[in-house]
Amino acid sequence: MNTKCKLCKTNDLEDVGSHIFTESIIRTALNEDGFTKRADKELMFEISVNKVGLDFFGSAIQPEKIEEITGKPVTDEQIAGNENEIINKKLVCRDCEKRFNPIETAFVQDIYSKIVKKSNEELKKDTCNYIVFEDKKLIALQFVIINVWRASASNYDNWKLTDEQEEYLRSFIDKTLIGDLNSINDKTKEFADEITDFDFALNYFIQDEERLSDNGLLIDNSVNPYFILLNRLSIIFDFKKISSDEIPEFLTSIIEDNVACIISSQLENELRIGINSDKQRKLLFHRIAMHQLNQIITKCNETFYELHRKFLGFYPPQSSTAYYVKTMENYVAERKGKINIEEMMQLIIKVVSDCGRSYF
C-alpha cells in the first residue's frame, strides 16, 4: 500500500482528512436544512444501482432525525459503518492539505460568496446571463484543477481521469501551490504554458426556494467535455479547448444562452460565470434523478431476465414479465419511494421462484 502523499509524493500520509471537494461550496447541499455552517450536520443521500437512501450522517445529527428518515432506529452497525466518502484520509499529507487553502478561500470569499449574496432579482437582471470578475481567472483555474485532481486521485464514485491527465494536473498543482495567494498567482503565471491544454467554464444556478439541501453532487461519466456539479456550481472542463457546440448531455438546452461567452480560453484576464435560473436548476436535477432511476430500473430488469434464464433455462414470457413489473410497482408504491436495492434484489429472486413454480 502506498503511504506517500499523492500530491508531493515525498511526505508520508498523516491520516489527514482532506475534503475531495471544497467543503464550503458543497456544504448546504449536504447539511440538514437550516444549517449553513460547518457543524457536523451532514445528511448525505445516494441514488444509484448500489444504494438508495441515507448514505452518511454527521455526528451532530440526532438519532430521532435518522429514524425519521429511515423509518428505523439507528443501529450500532449503522454507526460503525458511517463513513463520509467526501473526505479522504489517504490523499495528501498535512503540508499539502494546507497548500489548497489560499485558493479555496479566495474562490469562496472573492467569487462564490459574492454571487450567493446577490439577490436573485439582481442576478436575473443580467441580460447577458453571466457575471464578471476582473483578474480572478487564475484563482478559478486553480480552484477547478484542485477539485478535479482530488476527485480523480480519490477515485471518487469510481470516477477517474487517465493516468496521464491526472499527472498533468498533479504536476501543475505541485509546481504552483506554493506560499500565499500572491505567490500562487505568480507561480501560475510562470508555469501557464504547462496548463494550456486545460479549459473550463463555470455556471451558477439560482435557487428561489429555501431548501438548500435540494441540491447535490455529481460527477458525470461523459467526456469531451467533462462535467462536475458541486451544489449550485457546475464545472465543465476538458483537456482541449472547449467548444460551445459540445455540451454535456445533462446541460443541453440549459446553458446554451451563455456557454459561448464564459469559456475560459476565450477570455483574457477576466472570469465569467454563467448565471442560470431556478427553473433550469430544477430541470438539471430532474434529469439527474431520472438518469439514476433509469439505471436502477435497467439493473433490476437485467437481473430478472438473467436469473430467469439461468435458473429456469429460458427468458421469461410476457406473462411472467408482466408479473415482475407489477410486483416491483407494488413494492415501490408500498415503500412510498423509499426503496432498498438489497430488498429489490431479494424480491426479484422471489419473483423468479414464483415463475418457476407456475411453469411446472
pLDDT, tens digit, 9 for 90 and up, residues 27-49: 766 544 444 444 454 444 444 44
5 has a pLDDT exceeding 80: yes
pLDDT computed for residue 280 by the predictor: 92
Instruction: Please give the pLDDT value at position 343.
Output: 82
Find, among 226, 101, 215, the residue nearest to 151 by Cα. Answer: 226
Of 318 and 231, the one with more pLDDT: 318
Residues forming beta bridges with residue 87, ordered by sequence position: 19
pLDDT at 85: 72
Q: Residue 293 in contact with residue 281, Cβ under 8 Å?
A: no
- Select the more confidently predicted residue: 42 or 314: 314
> Over the stretch 217-255, which tens digit does the pLDDT of each residue have?
788 887 889 999 998 899 999 999 998 888 888 899 888
Sign of CA dihedral 62, 68, 74, 78: negative
Output the average pLDDT for the chain.
Answer: 82
Closest CA to 84 of 135, 171, 26: 26
Check residues 166 and 47 and name the one with the higher pLDDT.
166
